[in-house]
Structure 1
Amino acid sequence: MVTPDWIAVDWGTTRLRVWAMAGADVLDSRSSDKGMGALGPDQFEPALLDLIGDWIAGRPPVIACGMVGARGGWAEAEYRATPCAALDPARAIRPKAADPRLDVHILPGLSQLDPPDVMRGEETQIAGFLAGQPDFDGTLCLPGTHCKWVRISGGMVEGFHTFMTGEIYALLTRHSVLRLTVGDARPDAAAFLKAAAQALANPDLSPAGMFPLRAGALLAGLPAQDAAGRLSGLLVGAELAAARPLWLDRRTIIIGAPDLAAFYHQALTQAGADAHVMDGAALVLSGLTAARAAIA
């Protein structure tokens, strides 16, 4: 029988992850594919209870971050305007729950007006990072479906920019003519790095270099993994070119899933950046732990 002091929840668009916690120690963890995108308004509570129902006899507080607080989620949490601290747990919302054992706190996201931008979930990773490196001054890169580039100074989030690189790659490989060439192939690392360097040097090459992937497959038998690597490199290289002011001559920490973070790290290092990688999953839990301490 697991009896947690509190429960940590990372609720994204596609995945729901939970941890039974005793202070900062993990007692147990579970996950499901019941992300926000798959749920209607009345399905969030049952989805959560499916995972934590046997943990909540003592009504431990549940600290949640991510898309659960989006418009269309369980309950809409506010966006806090930057510049600001990564988290303000006092401004978490508490959605209504039919089960009296549930005591849920949903953390707010972050926003900026110029240019307009928002984030949900990444701010908790940022807080987890800053809990361990409070004096950091530089840039955080959080790759994913929507990659966030975040300026950090004085323990504050100064501002950020979102690039839809991951979503564009998914759209091209699933719904464009490139689906016939790339499909679900795993990107080749060497092809990725070559294309990333070319696109970083000449961002106009990114759109111009895409259809030749299809032609190369038809005319010269271009392997799918090479095409995938080149397409990914063209897109990431163009992103790095646009984000150059954020990483050039600034210490940059890449926070994300190991495979994707490695590709960004290789491309940035190849370009001469001072770039380092940290595991995103661990930092989410660190951020939720910091939030729990503030709420307690």
Structure 2
Amino acid sequence: MTFGDKIRRFFRSEQGVGVMLVSPTALYALLLLAVPLVAIVVISFWTQTGVRDFDTAFTLANYKEALTDPLYRQLMLRSLMVSGLVTTITVVLAFPIAYFVSFGVKPEHKSLWIFLITIPFWTSYLIRVFLWKVILGYNGVLNSGLLAVGVIEEPMSFILYNVNAVVITLAHAYAPFAILPIFVALEKIDRSLLEASRDLGESRTMTFLRVTLPLAAPGVVAAVLIVFIPTIGDYVTPRLVGGPGGLMIANMIQTQFLRLNNAPLGATLAVLAMLIVAVIAIAFMLLGNKAAGGNKGGRRK
């Protein structure tokens, strides 16, 4: 059998048909994801010499500058702090909502509640950010309302154009992303396990802590990753509501590429941010797998 006959035979098999079906999508992902990512990594080791000119000699000067400059370290730490705080607030507030929809709502009404949770997606992300500017502004809805009822004597100035505004806006924007995976995890819990726990004398609180929460851990981990990964790279929200004290590492990356004309340093900051996010994401994935493995072990027992 010739090589050509083997190729034709392969593409007539089930494996060959599967390869042909997957190939366009794989090629599309390779061109739009892998190639730009590799290009960013390669450029991070270059030096900018002109508007469009690069010195392609390998150098670690960009990484040395990014790791030693206090400004970049401060922005990276602020980004991690903001993303961690947003993730914590979002997941903590999302869990009770997901729990209520899963356990407190009749099955025929759950789809309606999920529909209501996704309503914020109907409007543009930019519109939602600008609405928060209206709410948190010096003469905004929040200050005006508190002044009207006499809670404050003068408008609060610390809730806009700083880190507080960034956290509030991002927590609201990503709330549905946290609710949905937790809801899915709660829906998969076998209700008979909860009944067995109660029959064995456990209180509702202990049943939640020892049965419900561990079984919902994979959904919680998924929610953490879904919220944490995009928020650390968000640059629109810090630019619009963060002010000088609320800018994050993504804003510096944008500045390096578009304003300071230093693409290698911008690429270096992007690579470092991706590495940090990857390490944290892997750690949470390992925690999720450990929780899932422990749950399966408990079920087998």
The one of the two structures with greater contact order (alpha-carbon pairs below 8 A, sep at least 6) is 2
Same fold (TM over 0.5): no
Greater helix fraction, Structure 1 or Structure 2: 2
TM-score class, shorter: under 0.3
With normalisation by structure 2, the TM-score equals 0.23
Larger Rg: 2
| TM-score w.r.t. length of structure 1 | 0.23
